[in-house]
Amino acid sequence: MAERSNCVTVPLIVGVGGTTSAGSSSEIALRLSLEAAQGFGFETELLAGAAIDLPAYDPRRSDAPHGAQRLLDALRRADGLIISTPSYHGGSSGLIKNALDYAEELRCDARPYLDGRAVGLIVTAHGAQGLGTALTAMRSVVHALRGWPTPYAACLNAAQEPFAQGRPARTDVTDQLALVARQVAEFARMRRALAAQDAVAPAG
């Protein structure tokens, strides 16, 4: 991972995804996409499996439960996100949706929810039918959280064995995951440049 200097922070892309089973296709895909983001000069943070296996979100709680604070801190610091979910019955997994529900705790932040951040999406499914419906559902969730879904999303059919020993089995898999990372990275850089420009612009 890239280091942060004392003066200028390295931009951060946070990855959220996977399943409770370590080494799932969705977690491998997320790790590889974050690896590509590092190649574009970004720091990355992975929150997968046990890191997002949280109690069901309850908006009546006065404080976040144990384990949720790391997720919330990462979302606050993120310049962009990559979310990877398996397709369960035409939608995202409950694990992923519940983790994203915790973003409600960011509603009073200066950047509420996922405002101003690009969100790259990855969907895996054992068969092609669930890919499109799960992707549509995820894009709707990101929109509701004020995030910007990137134009491209990676849809990987696990029945076609996209990975071998934790690495892409074909170049098209590599290309899909890298493109997701690149679009998030490009948007994050544009947002940073705009913020810097606004900071030095004369008032009035």
Q: What is the pLDDT of residues 149-202, one digit of tens each?
A: 999 999 999 999 999 999 999 999 999 999 999 999 999 999 988 888 877 767
Q: Which domains does the chain have, with CATH numbers?
A: 12-200 (3.40.50.360)
Beta pairing partners, 44: 13
Does 6 have pLDDT greater than 80? no
- Average pLDDT across the chain, whole number: 92
Alpha carbon distance, N-terminus to C-terminus of the chain:
40
pTM: 0.92
Q: Do the beta carbons of residue 154 and residue 125 sit within 8 Å? A: no
- Return the closest-CA partner of residue 30 out of 86, 111, 70, 110: 86
Q: How confident is residue 204, by pLDDT bands cut at 50, 70 and 90? A: low
3-state secondary structure of 99: helix
Q: How confident is residue 4, by pLDDT bands cut at 50, 70 and 90? A: very low
Distance, in Å, from the CA atom of 167 to the CA atom of 78, rounded to the nearest integer, reads 26
* Model pLDDT, residue 203: 62
